[in-house]
Amino acid sequence: MNMDTLRDATEYALKTAEKNTSQCEVFASANSVRTIRFALNNVLESKSITDSGIGVRVVVDGSMGFSSTTLLEKDAIEETVLRAVKIARNKKPDTSFKSLPSPKGITRLSTPSDARLKEIDVEEIIKLGSAPLEAGLKKEPSLEFSGSTNFVFEECVIMNSLGVDCEDSSSFIYAHVTAEGREGNSEFSGIGWNVARTIEGFSPDKAGEEAVENALKSKGGKTIKPGRYETVFGHYAVADLMEHVLSYAVSLGSVDAGISYFTGGLGSQVAAEELSVFDDGTIEGALASKQVDDEGTPTRRTQVIRNGVLENFLSDSYYANKASKPEKLFESTGNGFRFAGTPGRRYDSAPGIFPTNFGIEPGKRKAEELVSEVKNGVYVGRLWYTYPINHIQGDFTCTNRSNTYLIEDGEITQGIAANSFRINDNLPRLLQKIKGIGKETKTVVVWGGASAIIVPEVHFSDVNVIYAKNEEGHVH
């Protein structure tokens, strides 16, 4: 599938839809997703998903309808438009809908997408995708490795009846590796990862080598008792909290639904002064940078939290219009994306609110300085099974997965066993308990995540561990 084919289909669909609607929008996309999965020290799967199609949104008498198709012939496009119109006519008017977006141009990025990810052959994909595994085995063959490498190329065209007419393409690669071992009754585990926009920028060996280093550092891990601990969260752990517990709360859609713990909080101090949070789809070379969102609104930098004060929410056009009042106007922040299931921009999904490059501004401390400030506590490099247990309050739960260490008198002294304790806490409370933020940031795409998370390590003064495995060798 090429951009010209997508553009031709989009133009025809828009011309067809304009005949029977007050407003309409057509979004066409083509995605190529190649995945290499490995476990038990072997490549288990090489999978390729290539799909394309168009999605049509129409407005008829204040009601909105949506339909999509993978077929780009004229008769299939006409049927798709008719389905969308029929759906709209069978729905009640949406009094909150104001308008589709008007043209605002695009954000010009000089960083090109890597079109080779569309054409790369199976042999090279397997070689690149399994490189993290091979590097890990070379460094320490006694460990057990699992993980995956994803190669994604996406392109899209967006047009609407108000004059939006733009296209975009992007590419990204991300690899995750977990290295695991066992010593006596204790499990130890380490994670490594690497991300890039292009093949040249991808360093798969680093992911495998980093996983080994982190696993061996955790060797001989003990367990800790339930209690409250000073905790330094590593880059991957911070990213997990950002993706699964913070991102929904800074969405204007969540505010509208009544499930954001930041509802009514604009302009108030919601975190320690050290914390500043942003979303920025315009960073040159960053993994999730894009020229436009999937409504044709240019991407931008949005300061969500500045020095602990909540300044803005992320939004698409619908919720920005719905939330706007005479005393407070909102606008789309360029976060109206169509993500669902597999990576890529989905023609068969209506827009939702998603971050792009979602991050925390770096602090001033080196990694060793963050640790040195902890008298007695823990370092947690990776969390998993992280999810909200009360969206409205911001309560969440998670367990330690990898790279977990005991800190005593400002130094890491020994590993803590993988999967040995559970954290139950409240993120709004923790945001007020930040004691320090690291100066080095890394980009993470967490398991099940839709965004690129750019984060430093963060030191929290008081994290609640509610459960720990009942094993011998407690260290606290």
263 and 185 belong to one structural domain: no
Same domain, 151 and 111: yes
Residue (of 385, 234, 260, 390) closest to 313 by Cα position = 260
User: Are the CB atoms for 62 and 201 separated by under 8 Å?
Assistant: no
Residue 220's pLDDT is 78
Residue 163: what residue type?
Answer: G
Would you say how long the chain is, in residues?
476
- The CATH number that applies at residue 158 is 3.30.2290.10
Residues 286 and 195 in one domain: no
320 lies in a domain? yes
Distance CA 392, CA 249 (A): 9
211 and 178 Cβ atoms separated by less than 8 Å:
yes
Q: What's the CA gap between 316 and 324, in Å, rounded?
A: 12
Distance from C-alpha of 468 to C-alpha of 476, rounded to nearest angstrom: 11
- Whether 88 and 120 map to the same domain: the answer is yes
Domain match, 314 and 285 both: yes
Region of residue 448 (phi > 0: left; psi between -120 and 50: alpha; otherwise: beta): left
* CA proximity to 221, closest of 16, 65, 418, 459: 418
Please count the CA atoms within 13 angstroms of the CA of 131 that sit on its side-chain side.
Answer: 19
Question: For residue 470, what pLDDT is reported?
Answer: 57
User: Where a domain ends, among 165, 185, 217?
Assistant: 217
Q: What pLDDT score was predicted for residue 447?
A: 81
In a domain, 475, yes or no: no
In a shared domain, residues 425 and 335: yes
pLDDT of residue 412: 95
CB 203 within 8 A of CB 130: no
Claim to verify: residue 169 and residue 233 sit in the same structural domain: no
Q: Is there a single domain that holds both residue 198 and residue 327?
A: no
Which of the listed residues 153, 184, 217 is the one where a domain comes to its end? 217
What is the H or E stretch that residue 458 is in? strand 458-468
Where residue 9 falls (left for φ over 0; alpha for ψ -120 to 50; beta otherwise) is: alpha
Cα 277 from Cα 453, distance rounded (Å): 11
At 435 the three-state DSSP class reads: strand
Number of domains, the chain: 2
The Cα-based distances of 367 to 8, 249, 387, 406 in angstroms read 52, 28, 27, 15
172 plus 268 within the same structural domain:
no
Say how far apart CA 132 and CA 275 lie, in whole Å.
34
Are 331 and 392 contained in the same domain?
Answer: yes
- My answer on whether 44 and 165 are in the same domain is yes
Residue 316's SS3 state is coil
Q: Model-level pTM?
A: 0.95
pLDDT digits (tens, 9 = 90+) for 415-437: 999 889 999 999 999 999 999 99
Task: Assess if residue 347 is contained within a domain.
Answer: no
- Strands (DSSP E) found in 74-164: 144-160
- Sheet with 452-455, edge to edge strand ranges: 309-310, 301-306, 277-280, 357-360, 452-455, 442-444
209 exposed, middle or buried (CB, 10 Å; 0-12, 13-18, 19+)?
A: buried
Q: Is 262 found in the same domain as 175?
A: no
| Residue that is last in its domain, among 182, 217, 252 | 217
CB 439 within 8 A of CB 365: yes
273: left (phi over 0), alpha (psi -120 to 50) or beta: alpha
Asked whether 156 and 27 are in contact (CB, 8 A), the reply is: yes
Query: What 8-state DSSP symbol labels residue 185?
Result: T
Please give the backbone phi and psi of residue 303, each rounded to the nearest 5 degrees, phi first. Answer: -85, 110
**Which amino acid is residue 257, in one-letter code?**
A
Assess if residue 461 is contained within a domain: yes
Domain membership of residue 346 (yes or no) is no
Place of tokens 């890491």: 412
Predicted pLDDT at 120: 87
> What stretches of 344-457 adopt beta strand conformation (E)?
352-353, 357-360, 376-390, 395-408, 411-415, 421-426, 434-437, 442-444, 452-455
Residues of the chain with confidence (pLDDT) below 70: 470-476
Please give the pLDDT value at position 262. 98
DSSP for residue 101 = P
32-85 residue pLDDT tens: 999 999 999 999 999 999 999 999 999 999 999 999 999 999 999 999 999 999
In a domain, residue 317? The reply is yes
Using DSSP's 3-state secondary structure scheme, residue 431 falls into helix
Does residue 357 fall inside a structural domain?
Answer: yes
Cα(88)–Cα(205) distance, integer angstroms: 51
- How many Cβ atoms sit within 10 Å of the Cβ of residue 155? 24
Q: Six-digit token pair at 312?
A: 């803005």
Question: Which domain, by its residues, includes 177?
Answer: 3-217
476 located within any domain: no
Residue 472: predicted pLDDT:
45
Two tokens, residue 407? 């800190």
